[in-house]
Chain A
Amino acid sequence: DAGVTQSPTHLIKTRGQQVTLRCSPKSGHDTVSWYQQALGQGPQFIFQYYEEEERQRGNFPDRFSGHQFPNYSSELNVNALLLGDSALYLCASSRSTNEQFFGPGTRLTVL
């Protein structure tokens, strides 16, 4: 049983660009959450998707948007990238509000 997968593994962008990160949930899971982890910090909740709708959002600007597809996979989009957006982006999946399982993350570097 494949766990949570994320792509790409690493990404380098310049300020002002846009980026899309992808996540495939664990088999049987219908909920995807995204977290941002800056260096030396704990992960911060960005938003959660369930049944293709954003169910809850953390304290992140509208530059951060997402989508969930009918197969439960999800995308995180970030527009107008800032240097401060450099971080490890983690995706977690769960069956509704049960225990979350995390993917390996995408390391985003903004130059």
Chain B
Amino acid sequence: KQEVTQIPAALSVPEGENLVLNCSFTDSAIYNLQWFRQDPGKGLTSLLLIQSSQREQTSGRLNASLDKSSGRSTLYIAASQPGDSATYLCAVSGGGATNKLIFGTGTLLAVQP
């Protein structure tokens, strides 16, 4: 059974700092991995999707890496801003008959001005 873990559960950093969020999964047979952002009480905004054949994806100040063999992904945020404060969720898809997502419990990020 696939399990997804995110560390740390919460993180507080001063504005301008570079930071790394971690995600690990127990079954390396994934189809893709996705990072989401969630503001309090809101839906999910997709940040980056990495296919299983890829090693990383970049969008602006965000960079996500994937190491399938070790069951790990990292989300790197450069030059953090107060507007980056949110919960960041990692999810994996096993592919096959459906593309259901299995989520971690998230990392709550606070960027202090």
| Interface size, chain B (Cβ < 8 Å) | 24
Q: A88 at the A/B interface (Cβ < 8 Å)?
A: yes
Q: A41-B105, A42-B103, A88-B41 known; A99 and B98 CB under 8 Å?
A: no
Name the prevailing secondary structure of the B interface residues. strand
CB closest chain-B residue, reference A33: B100
CB closest chain-B residue, reference A58: B100
Q: A35: which B residues are within 8 A, CB to CB? A: 101
Q: How far is the CA of A105 from the CA of B45 in the complex (A)?
A: 12
Q: A56: which B residues are within 8 A, CB to CB? A: 97-98, 100
Q: A48-B100, A56-B97, A97-B99 known; A42 and B43 CB under 8 Å?
A: no
Q: How far is the CA of A90 from the CA of B45 in the complex (A)?
A: 12
Q: A72 at the A/B interface (Cβ < 8 Å)?
A: no
| Interface size, chain A (Cβ < 8 Å) | 29
Identify A45's interface contact among B32, B42, B89, B101, CB under 8 A. B101
Q: How far is the CA of A31 from the CA of B105 in the complex (A)?
A: 25
CB closest chain-B residue, reference A4: B43
Instruction: State the Cβ distance, A10 to closest chain B Cβ, in Å.
Output: 10
Chain A to chain B contacts (Cβ below 8 Å), 9 pairs? A4-B43, A42-B106, A43-B89, A43-B101, A48-B98, A48-B99, A90-B43, A96-B99, A102-B44
Which residues of B come within 8 Å of A, CB atoms? 4, 32, 34, 36, 41-46, 49, 89, 91, 95, 97-106
